[in-house]
């Protein structure tokens, strides 16, 4: 049995994994899908002091307090940064790192380095007068939709779990200075539909940091595949457990 720790991306909450969890649990695995500080049941904690380091502490704290081991650590979108730094702190507890349509950083990089369009979001927060709150991206026409979700009922459900993103999350750097983190196997899952203009995905190297061939899968759907293709996503994840 493995433990799947599913980490949501920017603006979302742990509720976004609601359709994926039953598939993994039915296969006999433990599944944990928390909301990070500032989202879901922790929305009251949202503030300008919340940053990437806060969310890394959330993940590391949960793993250590629950004494989780053999963890398949899945990070969606922005959470690719958070799972990287978390694994750097506790590599001995992580069995796999899964970057789900996610930012994949190098040591010392932040969201702007990995995805330069993030600077436009920071500029938007400054222009809005708040200085630290980045609102969720607006819904676009199909196939863009709301984070790649186009079904009206799914869009309505998704809206209930969205909150503003603190600018600090996009500015703090990732730490990958522990040599042991390079030994953790990585998997990359790309969503191939409805990629917004200006979003350029950094190519995955042919070899993982541990020297083994990179493992890359694709899902023919939009960014929030946990909502649009939960069964197919779970099937891919179960290949790792």
User: What local confidence, expressed as pLDDT, does residue 127 receive?
Assistant: 77
pLDDT top residue among 211 and 14: 14
Written as six digits, the tokens of 206 are 């042919």
Q: What is the mean pLDDT of residues 118-138?
A: 84
User: What local confidence, expressed as pLDDT, does residue 7 receive?
Assistant: 99
Q: How far apart are CA 128 and CA 139, in angstroms?
A: 19
pLDDT, the chain, mean: 94
* pLDDT higher than threshold 90 for residue 200: no
Spatial contact of 144 and 196, defined as CB atoms under 8 Å apart: yes
Provide the whole-model pTM: 0.96
Q: What is the mean pLDDT of residues 97-113?
A: 97
Could you give the residue numbers annotated as active site? 77
* pLDDT higher than threshold 90 for residue 4: yes
User: What local confidence, expressed as pLDDT, does residue 241 receive?
Assistant: 73
Using the structure block, give the residue that is written with the tokens 């939709």.
145
Q: What is the mean pLDDT of residues 152-165?
A: 97
Q: How far apart are CA 220 and CA 228, in angstroms?
A: 10
């Amino acid at each position: 049995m493995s433990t799947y720790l599913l980490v949501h991306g920017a603006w979302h909450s742990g509720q976004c994994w609601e359709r994926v969890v039953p598939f993994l649990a039915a296969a006999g695995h433990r599944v944990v899908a928390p909301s990070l500080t500032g989202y879901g049941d922790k929305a009251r904690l949202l503030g300008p002091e919340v940053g990437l380091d806060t969310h890394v502490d959330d993940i590391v704290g949960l793993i250590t307090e629950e004494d989780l081991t053999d963890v398949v650590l899945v990070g969606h979108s922005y959470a690719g940064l958070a799972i990287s730094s978390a694994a750097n702190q506790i590599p001995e507890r992580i069995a796999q790192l899964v970057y789900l349509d996610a930012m994949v950083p190098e040591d010392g990089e932040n969201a702007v380095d990995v995805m330069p369009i993030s600077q436009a979001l920071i500029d938007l927060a400054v222009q809005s007068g708040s200085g630290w709150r980045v609102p969720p991206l607006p819904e676009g026409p199909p196939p863009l939709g709301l984070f790649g979700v186009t079904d009206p009922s799914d869009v309505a459900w998704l809206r209930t779990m969205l909150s503003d993103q603190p600018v600090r999350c996009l500015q703090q750097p990732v730490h990958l200075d522990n040599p042991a983190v390079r030994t953790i196997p990585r998997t990359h899952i790309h969503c191939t539909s409805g990629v917004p203009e200006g979003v350029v995905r950094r190519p995955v190297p042919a070899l993982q940091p541990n020297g083994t061939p990179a493992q890359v899968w694709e899902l023919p759907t939009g960014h929030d595949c946990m909502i649009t293709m939960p069964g197919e996503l779970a099937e891919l994840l179960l290949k790792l457990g």
